Amino acid sequence: MMTDQIPVCGPGLANTANGLFAHYYRGNIAPDDMLDASGHVRQHWKLLVQLLDHLGPVELEKRWAMARQLIHENGVTYNVYGDPAGMDRPWVLDALPLVFAAQEWADLCDGLVQRARVLDMALADLYGPQRLLNDSVIPPEVIFANPGYLRPLRGARPFGGRWLHVAANDIGRNQDGSFCILADRTQTPSGAGYALENRIVVSRAIPDIFRDCQVSRLATFFRSMRHLLQAAAPHNRENPRIVLLTPGPYNETYFEHAYLARYLGYPLVEGADLTVRDNRVYMKMLGGLQQIDVIFRRQDDDYCDPLELKPDSSLGIAGLVQSVHAGHVTVVNALGSGVMESPALEMFIPRICRYLLGEELKLPAVTSYWCGDEEALKYVLAHFNKLVIKPAFYSADESPVATESLSSKQVETLRVRVLDHPSHYVGEEQIPLSTAPVMIGGRVEARHIAFRAQMVAAGDSYTVMPGGLARFSMSAESMIVSMQRGGGSKDTWVLSGGPVDTFSLLTPPGSPMGISRAGGDLSSRVADNLYWLGRYVERAEAIVRLARGIIGRLVDQNFDTSPELPTLLASLGAQVRMNAPNVTSSNGESLLNNMLFAGDLPYGLQMTLAAVYSTASLVRDRMAIDTWRIISRLDVDFSAKLGKPGRVSELLATLDKLMITFAAFSGLAMESMTRGLAWRFLDIGRRIERGANIVLLGLSTLTADQMRAPSILEAILEVADSAITYRRRYMTSLQIPLVADLLLSDETNPRALAFQLVRLQEHVELLPSSHLGAQLTPIQQILLRRLTELRLADFGRLVTLGNAEDSGLRGFMEMATADLFKLSDLICQKYLCHAAPSRQIGSSTVKINPGYRP
């Protein structure tokens, strides 16, 4: 395709022969953004080319290495669906921006604004009077057979009459260099955040060139976005509460959601954070419910309300549609706006424009043919081999396909499908897409590009972001420009042709800011995840401690002469909830392996570590980078090793390493987390779990008949990390009451039950609505009762009574366990219960989400 190439030459490029662009060639089929038809650098690229040449390839490469580092540190990622390795794919950004001249850009904006207005008005009509259908502007089938047309939204009157608040368009160039719309993004347009991140990286890498080129700044666009969201609030207009709704970390553009939320200053929430009461939307905070006025959503239309839209969506907010009808909340973009993305509609946009605006469409889109129309079908069949065939409506099963790329047999199959259901397909002309220079391994080469322009509503019209996200194809031949399919991105520079507005939303370094110490309120969902993260980490640690004690003995000692071994194994069995293993000398090793590695044992090590990792990834945005690094090492380093049961002696080293990882995690939590609610819930989880584990250890050892041998007590002290303290206090005399006191009642021993209860008392005091006037809350009552029991305990007497009666040591510990469970339940009910996943009754099959937590 690119055989006949034209080298860069011409005036204005003195150094070109040896410079960065010396080997840049353009093809002669597609237009090139930098070079004109005769191979001369276009006027608006000249300054950039000159400055880059001056900088030189070596310096540029050096600076770009730093930029890559910045991208890595900022954690810019793009998730690729259906590819396990695709999670958190690093962002690919090219050093060379795409440049637009001021005038060409202004003309483009004109067309984009007109288009956004048309789409907005069309939405208002389709979800209202449907004049477009009554007057035959659009055939009924295009709307009525369209799964994107959400009937429950008809008759909704969004605040201000606006349906489309933000919009984006993918744009490419025709053969003659003119602009052409490739796609409309009307539902949850992505790209604005990536464009901003790209700009920040590029402008830091080549700040002088950026300044000299007088590039229009992006910040004003985001200022408009903030104004828009603020103005969209139906109530509480002085100080509306605005949230950014994300489907969660598995979404392909999750990075952008988190990034935008931080940049714009709105909380990032998931569906489970919100609830509808009395037709109003609230955010579930630990301190109670807070009404939300505007939802800036990045979640697809039909996933937003399981009650009225997609019934099996676990991401949605039940009752949201009714709340929209009641006018108590504004959703941006309005629910149902996705219908305008249907390829079937494209063919009718010029007509719709004429009908609604009385104007001709200024900016054409790729010519497309909806096969439900007889004439269009004829055309498509006659030109089948040159077109791209797309599903007419959004479809998860089918994607667009260029017939060129198919075998003749595949073409025939597709043709039959189109003939069978013409109205399900659209044929689309292919356009060449222009090329632009991209740095590929130190050389500058031509790649096909498309870019995404962003718009935000302002008053009666729209503002276009002066820039956008440009993307390039993976290879010189490929015209597939998609982050999902490889390729990379570019910054887009719109030359201002004059002084630049340097407004910024980022706080300039050194400018004074009000001091804020309060951690603020915390959403129940985040608190819930932190609480369970604390519990899982502690649980994993308890298992590893026990396992280490066992392995040490399995390696060194003779099973039959070490009475503590079966006891310790039984204790581990109790810890991992494996039914009473009958320990013998021959099955010790296999039992141990099973307890640690069984993939179906919810309390086993394998599944607990998996739970640590998955829970941590849900609160990743709450974690310092270092903390996340530790957690991710847990996954990388251990899941592989632990997957294969090996010789116990080798296992010991792995478990030792695991212990150090836990210690690093705890250390960071203690030393780097501010003492806000987030830290408290992490620690509450940890304290409850540790308390329960130490009692469990006591129950499975101290009261067992056969195990009063000193070696057993020694082993317990070692597992509980209290051997040194004991020896210092009591020299070598091992007695059960003393051990019990040290592990249960000693408030100075960080491993003792009493220590955990004291910490919990402190936390509970500082949680929201923790007081009931002068009365103690049930949570406070339990803590006080249990702590008092521990302080008054006479272990000598308790040990003597032993298992015989409820009042013996066993009963004492069983009551402690019961209280800890009750405590956990009460905390979950009071603070976390709203975070549970919801499910369907009635029309659809009952589906229980995997929200169960062992």
Partner 1 sequence: MAVYRIQHLTRYRYQEPVTVCHNLAHLIPRDAPRHTWTQISLDITPDATRSMRHDYFGNPMTVFAIDEPHCELQVVSRCMVDLAAPQTSSLFPTGSWESVCKMLSGRPQDEFLAASEFRFRSPQIHWNEDIYNWARQSFTLGRPMAEAALDIGKRIYSEFKFVSGSTNISTRVDEVFQQRTGVCQDFAHFAIACFRSMGLAARYVSGYLLTAPPPGQQRLTGADASHAWISVYIPECGWMDIDPTNHVWPLERHITIAWGRDFSDVSPLRGVILGGGKHEVTVGVDVIPLDADGDGVLITELWT
Contact residues toward partner 1 (CB under 8 A) are 130, 133-134, 136, 140-141, 144-145, 151-152, 154-155, 275-279, 306-308, 311, 318-319, 322, 325-326, 833-834, 836-846
Contact between 247 and 298 (Cβ < 8 Å): yes
Minimum CB distance to partner 1, residue 328 (Å): 11
Taking the complex as a whole, the smallest distance from the CB of residue 357 to partner 1 amounts, in Å, to 23
For the bound state, the minimum distance from the C-beta of residue 426 to partner 1, rounded and expressed in Å, comes to 16
- Which CB atom, from 413 or from 639, has the smaller least distance to partner 1? 413
Least Å from the CB of residue 837 to partner 1 = 8
Asked if residue 429 lies in contact with residue 380, where contact means CB atoms within 8 angstroms, the answer is no
Six-digit token pair at 456? 């935000």
* Identity of the residue, 122 or 388, whose beta carbon is nearer to partner 1 in the bound complex: 122
CB of 804 to partner 1, least distance (A): 36
Q: Which residues contact 347 (CB under 8 A, 6 or more apart)?
A: 368, 369, 370, 373, 376, 426
Nearer to partner 1, 222 or 282 (CB): 282
Nearer to partner 1, 157 or 237 (CB): 157
Residue 234 φ/ψ, nearest 5 degrees: -75, -25
User: With respect to partner 1, which residue has the nearer C-beta, 143 or 168?
Assistant: 143
Please answer whether residues 832 and 530 qualify as being in contact, where contact means their C-beta atoms are separated by less than 8 angstroms: no
Task: Please identify, using beta-carbon distances, which residue of 231 and 317 lies nearer to partner 1.
Answer: 317
Phi, psi of 195 (to 5 degrees): -60, -40
Cα end-to-end span (Å), the chain: 60
What is the distance between the alpha carbons of residues 651 and 204, in angstroms, rounded to a whole number?
Answer: 47
Min CB(457)–partner 1 separation in Å? 26
CB 416 → partner 1: shortest distance, Å?
12
Residue 342 C-alpha from the chain's centroid: 26
> Using CB atoms within 10 A of its CB, is residue 248 exposed (0-12), middle (13-18) or buried (19+)?
middle
Q: How far is the CB of 817 from partner 1 (least distance, A)?
A: 22
**E strands of 34-122, at which residues?**
77-78, 89-90, 98-100
Cβ nearer to partner 1, comparing 527 with 623 = 527
User: How far are the Cα atoms of 466, 534, 677, 829 from residue 616, in angstroms, in the given order?
Assistant: 38, 10, 16, 22
- Alpha-carbon distance of 35 to 21, in angstroms, equals 11
Q: 92 Cβ partners below 8 Å, 6+ apart?
A: 487, 488, 489
Q: Which helix (H) or strand (E) holds 200?
A: helix 192-205
Tell me whether residue 680 or residue 834 sits nearer to partner 1 (CB atom). 834
Contacts of 378 (CB under 8 A, 6+ apart): none
- Give the C-alpha distances (Å, rounded to integers) separating 610 from 599, 603, 604, 616, 685: 10, 11, 10, 10, 17
Q: How far is the CB of 833 from partner 1 (least distance, A)?
A: 6
Identity of the residue, 58 or 852, whose beta carbon is nearer to partner 1 in the bound complex:
852
Smallest distance from the beta carbon of 839 to partner 1, in angstroms?
A: 6
- Which residue's CB is nearer to partner 1, number 194 or number 394? 394
Tokens in use for 604?
Answer: 């086993």
Pair 583, 553: CB distance under 8 Å: no
Minimum gap (Å) between residue 284 Cβ and partner 1: 10
Cβ proximity to partner 1, 144 vs 730, nearer residue? 144
The single residue listed with the structure tokens 């904006």 is 109
Smallest distance from the beta carbon of 803 to partner 1, in angstroms? Answer: 33
Residues 683, 533: Cα–Cα separation, whole Å: 9
The two most distant CA atoms of the chain are separated, in Å, by: 101
Look up tokens 């549970």; give the residue. 836
Measured at the CA of 538, the angle between CA 534 and CA 542, to 5 degrees, comes to 170
Exposure string for 181-194, b = 16+ CB within 10 A, e = fewer: bbbbbbbbbbbbbb
| Residue 254 CB, nearest approach to partner 1 (Å) | 25
Nearer to partner 1, 308 or 718 (CB): 308
Count CB atoms within 10 A of the CB of residue 580: 8
Nearer to partner 1, 136 or 482 (CB): 136
Beta strands in 322-404 (DSSP E): 330-332, 368-370, 388-391, 401-402
Q: Do the Cβ atoms of 207 and 261 come closer than 8 Å?
A: no
Q: Provide, rounded to whole angstroms, the least separation between the CB of residue 136 and partner 1.
A: 5
Closer residue to partner 1, CB minimum distance, 325 or 641: 325
- Give whichever of 140 and 646 is closer to partner 1, judged by the CB atom: 140
Q: Cβ distance 128 to 168 under 8 Å?
A: no
Q: Closest by alpha carbon to 826, among 788, 783, 772? A: 783
Task: Return the number of the residue (322 or 735) whose C-beta is nearest partner 1.
Answer: 322
Residue 90 or 851: the one with the smaller Cβ distance to partner 1 is: 851
Structure tokens at 643: 């997957």
Distance CA 801, CA 707 (A): 16
What is the nearest approach in angstroms of partner 1 to the Cβ of residue 262?
A: 30
Minimum separation from the CB atom of position 772 to partner 1 (A): 19
Q: How far is the CB of 619 from partner 1 (least distance, A)?
A: 21
Query: Cβ–Cβ contacts within 10 Å for residue 87, how many?
Result: 16
Q: Which residues are bridge partners to 184 per DSSP?
A: 169
User: What is the per-residue DSSP string for 131-192?
Assistant: HHHHTTSS-HHHHHT-TTS-GGGTT---GGG-S-SEEEEEEEE-TTS-EEEEEEE-SS---H
d(CA 380, CA 377): 5
Nearer to partner 1, 74 or 840 (CB): 840
Distance of closest approach, residue 359 Cβ to partner 1, in angstroms: 25
